[in-house]
Structures are given as C-alpha cells and as structure tokens.
Amino acid sequence: MRLDIYPYQTQSFILIGTRKIEVEKMWKKSGSVIMMTMILIAIILFSFSSYSKAEDRSTTNLSGKIDQHLFYSSIPRQMTVGESYEIMVFVRNTGEKEEYCMVTLVAPGEFIYPQYSIEMVMLSSGESRRYKFLITPIKAHIGEINITAKLFSVSPTENIELDSVFAPVFLIEQAFPTADIITASVSVIGILIMILTIFYVFRS
C-alpha cells in the first residue's frame, strides 16, 4: 500500500493506494465523531451522578419523628360545628444533617375546614419544633373520621415522607342556638302573635 502526503498544495491530501483523501474533510469527519462521543460520555456521567445523589438522599441519614402522644391528646374525640380547635404537632429531626422539612395536617374536607394545612421549616440535626394548626368543623357527623399529620423532607427533586400519625374523631355535633338566635326567635314569635291578635280583633 502506498501512502503519500502532499502538505504544500492548496489542499492537503493523503494518497492511499490509488485513492486520494482530502485531509481537511477527513479531520472534520473524525472531529465530529470525537465531539459526539465526548457529549455522550458527559451525558452518561451526569445521569450517573444524578442517580447516585438521589440514591444517596433516599438511603442515607434522613429521618424525623412526630410526637404521636402529643398529637393524639390535642384532638378531641367529640367536636361541635362552628367551634375552632387547636391541634398540636411536635416534630423532631432525628437525622444527622440539617433538613428542609414540610409539616402537613390533613382533615376530611367534607366535615372540617381547612382540609390541608402546611408549615415549612429548616431543622438542624436533633432540633425540635412545635406547630399549632386551627381547624373548624363545618358539618355534623356521627362515626369515625381521621385527622392526619405528616412530616416530609423537601428537596427540589422529591419529597420524602419521614413520619405520619393520625387520630380519630368520633362525633361532630350540631351547635345549639346561641342566645342572640334565641332572642331573635322569641321576638319574631311575639310579633306574629301580636299580628294575629290584631287580625282577630278587627275581624270580630
């Protein structure tokens, strides 16, 4: 095989046997292949790095707890429509590093308002916080319904649930009429009696 290179011409060529190959075109083609190969390697490395970080986040020291006793004791088993109740959620970061956390309170929206309550907090390792949520029953109900508190570790890519507790409510009763309503009702009844009396007097 004969291999000759002619660098001093306007365009450089490599002569392989009887084929004349333009060096510049050959370099452009090989350069494109090299560039595509480097981009592919970079994508693979980035994907592997992202996967490793996600795996590391979900399997390493992420942990937190909600005080179940405090939560359970703050929820009355019987509620009244229209009255507000303060629910206590005590959370603690039991992991080994600082975590950006989300505390949620979830109630049955048909009977209690609001259905969802959320608090965001940054917790250092070992740090504890207590949160107060206000809920108000809006509809009478007989039977067990659950109010749930959840603790999440929050990141730009995912939310990981760390703990969840719930407590039951067995009865939501209708509120008794207030004094103002009773007074207004008596007044209306009195007016109606007076109108009827006048009507019968004039009729007779």
Distance in angstroms (rounded) separating the CA atoms of residues 167 and 151:
15
Confidence label for 180 from pLDDT (cuts 50, 70 and 90): low
Distance in angstroms (rounded) separating the CA atoms of residues 151 and 71:
13
Query: Which of the residue ranges 110-114, 123-127, 150-154, 181-185 would you say has the lowest mean pLDDT?
Result: 181-185
The answer for 203, left when phi > 0, alpha when psi is -120 to 50, beta otherwise, is: alpha
Three-state DSSP class for residue 84: coil
Residue 14 has pLDDT above 80, yes or no: no
C-alpha 121, offset from chain centre? 13
Q: Alpha helix (H) ranges present in 15-125?
A: 23-59, 68-73
Residue 163 identity: D
Q: Which tens digit of pLDDT belongs to each residue from 104-116?
A: 999 999 999 999 9
Q: Nearest Cα to 74, choosing from 23, 1, 147, 6? A: 147
Distance in angstroms (rounded) separating the CA atoms of residues 137 and 149:
17
Question: Mean pLDDT score of the chain, rounded to an integer?
Answer: 79
Q: What local confidence, expressed as pLDDT, does residue 184 receive?
A: 65
8-state DSSP, 97: S
Q: Are 114 and 107 in contact (CB under 8 A)?
A: yes
Residue 202 has pLDDT above 80, yes or no: no
Q: Are 68 and 165 in contact (CB under 8 A)?
A: yes
Q: What local confidence, expressed as pLDDT, does residue 33 receive?
A: 61
Q: Which tens digit of pLDDT belongs to each residue from 31-41?
A: 566 666 676 77
Confidence label for 30 from pLDDT (cuts 50, 70 and 90): low
**Order of strands across the sheet with 116-123?**
78-80, 159-173, 141-154, 99-106, 116-123
State both tokens at 144: 């067990």
Distance in angstroms (rounded) separating the CA atoms of residues 29 and 201:
114
